[in-house]
């Protein structure tokens, strides 16, 4: 092909998009509608628990519009990291939504689901063979960490999606996938420039965020050629500039020239950005360098306990001045009270208005505001134990007699009753490692369904 047009409706499936932008994109006759549906950005809870961080009704709204438009124009829809984190439960959750749409809208099409779950035994075997390495600053993986992990997924490359396209899938739902792959898969099928296709995918996966003003809830369209690609937003209030596109190219990357992914790296050493029109940018020179050994990134999460939080505030200038001493005293009082009974817990008291965002990295040391917000967080092995620690810390801080205190009653103002919230399970990432494999298709089985007849 000499040219391929790729429509990206939204930065995350379920974030929505204006119909006017989408219809303008469809009028440009795209060859594929592609969308990224997930990320590790919301943290490990969603991967560990198997739940989606996006709303079901919102995801269904987006998919309904995309699938009907794609079938009408006989083009594929490709979704990467379905359900938010791309584990089997997320993939099935998204699959159920697509099946509902097919029934309700009386649609007929071939659905492909690509599984990205990785078996624990395989991970242990690869670890024994020295084929798993950590991504900085993560430590080397251990078998104990593997056994504690609830869900393990791997970021698939373009190969499984290309296979599904070759086998006639109209709608592809992929489990955890390298973000640009959904956008580059059709180009790879047609043997177009892979470096440019993946670079375009890197930008399109966040849709209009790469424009100015940026938005994760608006459409972007890209045009891939043999020696370059062009990209533009579909809303007249936005523009793509060389700065906005180049800046997004560096988004979430540690090296401005080398962007690693499954099976190789993008080399941006010779990449150029050119302003073609007021709102369109042309990009040239990006190359894909295949790696000697094909590697994929593993992601896993493990349950570490249960959380209870309490939210409060104070505008007592004396308490604010003494807040560090008060927090230290509360921690010591909690530890002393439960020593030998509840030793395996974590108590974290964050002060918003002081260093609630940056913690110890905060450069502004003095509190300048007249009030601060305080979040007391307790994490323990059970919900009851977390409730106990949070409750005791909250009551201790509420009545603590700090130096210079004028009041004789409570120190804190609570916006809610009850003041303590049971937040449930807490997960940590237990895997963020690279694993070497022999075949880019071997770990990602594809299941096909003929919907609507």
Q: Which helix (H) or strand (E) holds 57?
A: helix 56-73
Segment 349-375 mean pLDDT:
92
Answer positive or negative: Cα dihedral of 30, 31, 33, 38. Answer: negative
In this model, does residue 421 exceed pLDDT 80? yes
pLDDT of the residue at 424:
97
E-only strand ranges, 175-263 = 220-225, 228-233, 258-261
Segment 283-293 mean pLDDT:
96
In this model, does residue 453 exceed pLDDT 80? no
Report the alpha-carbon distance of residue 297 to residue 163 in Å, rounded. Answer: 20
Residues 227-268 pLDDT 10s: 999 999 999 999 999 999 999 998 777 888 999 999 999 999
Query: Residue 350's CB: how many other CB atoms inside 10 A?
Result: 17
In this model, does residue 141 exceed pLDDT 80? yes
Percentage of the chain modeled with pLDDT above 70? 100
Average confidence score pLDDT of the chain: 96
pLDDT of the residue at 407:
80
pLDDT of the residue at 317:
93
Residues with Cβ < 8 Å from 104, sequence gap 6 or more? none
Answer positive or negative: Cα dihedral of 381, 382, 385, 391. Answer: positive
Query: Kindly report the CA angle at 184 between 182 and 185, in degrees rounded to 5?
Result: 70
In this model, does residue 409 exceed pLDDT 80? no
Q: How many angstroms separate the first and last alpha carbons of the chain?
A: 33
pLDDT of the residue at 284:
98
pLDDT of the residue at 343:
84
In this model, does residue 376 exceed pLDDT 90? yes
E-only strand ranges, 56-175 = 77-80, 109-114, 132-134, 149-154, 171-174
pLDDT of the residue at 315:
94
Residues 44-70 pLDDT 10s: 999 999 999 999 999 999 999 999 999
Q: Which helix (H) or strand (E) holds 308?
A: strand 294-314
Residues 168-215 pLDDT 10s: 999 999 999 999 999 999 999 999 999 999 999 999 999 999 999 999
Whether the model pTM is above 0.85? yes
The answer to whether 383 touches 306, Cβ cutoff 8 Å, is yes
Query: Helices then strands (H, E): number in the chain?
Result: 13, 19
Q: Residue 270 burial (CB < 10 Å; 0-12/13-18/19+)?
A: exposed
pLDDT of the residue at 250:
86
In this model, does residue 414 exceed pLDDT 90? yes
C-alpha 209: how far from its chain's center?
A: 15
The answer to whether 323 touches 351, Cβ cutoff 8 Å, is yes
Q: Which whole-number Å values give the CA distances from 192 to 198, 200, 299, in the listed order?
A: 11, 12, 30
In this model, does residue 316 exceed pLDDT 80? yes
The answer to whether 304 touches 425, Cβ cutoff 8 Å, is no
pLDDT of the residue at 280:
98
The dihedral region occupied by 14, where left means phi > 0, alpha psi between -120 and 50, and beta the remainder, is: left
Residues 124-140 pLDDT 10s: 999 999 999 999 889 99
Segment 133-149 mean pLDDT:
94
Residues 27-41 pLDDT 10s: 999 999 999 999 899
Report the alpha-carbon distance of residue 389 to residue 307 in Å, rounded. Answer: 10
Residues with Cβ < 8 Å from 173, sequence gap 6 or more? 79, 82, 91, 94, 95, 98, 111, 112, 113, 114
Of the pLDDT bands very low, low, confident and very high (cuts 50, 70, 90), residue 300 is: very high
Upper half-sphere CA count for residue 193 (Cβ side, 13 Å): 20
Radius of gyration of the chain (CA): 25
Q: Which whole-number Å values give the CA distances from 187 to 184, 264, 296, 378, in the listed order?
A: 5, 17, 21, 49
Segment 92-115 mean pLDDT:
98
């Amino acid at each position: 092909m000499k040219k391929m047009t790729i429509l990206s409706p939204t930065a995350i499936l379920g974030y929505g998009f204006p119909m006017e932008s989408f219809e303008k994109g469809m009028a440009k006759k795209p060859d594929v509608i592609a969308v990224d549906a997930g990320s590790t950005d919301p943290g490990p809870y969603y991967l560990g628990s198997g739940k989606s961080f996006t709303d079901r009704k919102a995801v269904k709204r987006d998919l309904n519009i995309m699938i009907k438009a794609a079938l009408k124009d006989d083009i594929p829809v490709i979704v990467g990291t379905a359900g938010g984190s791309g584990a089997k439960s997320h993939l099935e959750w998204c699959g159920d939504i697509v099946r509902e749409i097919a029934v309700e809208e009386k649609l007929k099409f071939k659905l492909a689901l690509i599984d990205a779950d990785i078996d624990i035994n395989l991970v242990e075997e690869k670890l024994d063979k020295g084929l798993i390495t950590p991504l900085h600053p993560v430590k080397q993986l251990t078998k104990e960490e593997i056994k504690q992990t609830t869900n393990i997924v791997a970021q698939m490359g373009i190969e499984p999606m290309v296979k599904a396209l070759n086998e006639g899938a109209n709608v592809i739902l992929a489990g955890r996938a390298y973000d640009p792959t959904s956008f580059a898969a059709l180009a790879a099928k047609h043997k177009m420039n892979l470096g440019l296709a993946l670079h375009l995918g890197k930008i399109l996966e966040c849709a209009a965020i790469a424009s100015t003003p940026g938005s994760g809830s608006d459409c972007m369209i890209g045009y891939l050629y043999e020696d370059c690609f062009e990209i533009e937003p579909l809303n007249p209030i936005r523009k793509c500039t060389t700065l906005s596109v180049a800046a997004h190219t560096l988004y979430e990357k540690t090296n401005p020239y080398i962007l690693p992914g499954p099976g190789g790296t993008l080399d941006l050493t010779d990449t150029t950005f050119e302003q073609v029109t007021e709102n369109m940018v042309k990009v040239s020179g990006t190359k894909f360098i295949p790696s000697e050994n094909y590697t994929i990134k593993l992601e896993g999460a493990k349950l570490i306990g249960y959380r209870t939080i309490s939210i409060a505030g104070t505008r007592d200038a004396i308490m604010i001045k003494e807040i560090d001493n008060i927090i230290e005293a509360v921690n010591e009082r909690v530890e002393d009270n439960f020593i030998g009974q509840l030793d395996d817990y974590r108590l974290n008291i964050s002060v918003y208005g002081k260093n609630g965002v940056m913690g110890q990295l905060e450069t502004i040391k003095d509190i300048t505001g007249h009030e601060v917000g305080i979040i007391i967080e307790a994490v323990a092995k059970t919900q009851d134990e977390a409730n106990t620690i949070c409750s005791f810390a909250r009551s201790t801080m509420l009545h603590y007699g700090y130096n210079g205190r004028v009041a004789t009653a409570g120190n804190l103002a609570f916006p809610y009753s009850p003041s303590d919230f049971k937040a449930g399970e807490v997960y940590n990432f237990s895997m963020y490692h690279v694993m070497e494999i022999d075949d880019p298709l071997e770990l990602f089985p594809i299941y096909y369904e003929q919907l609507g007849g």
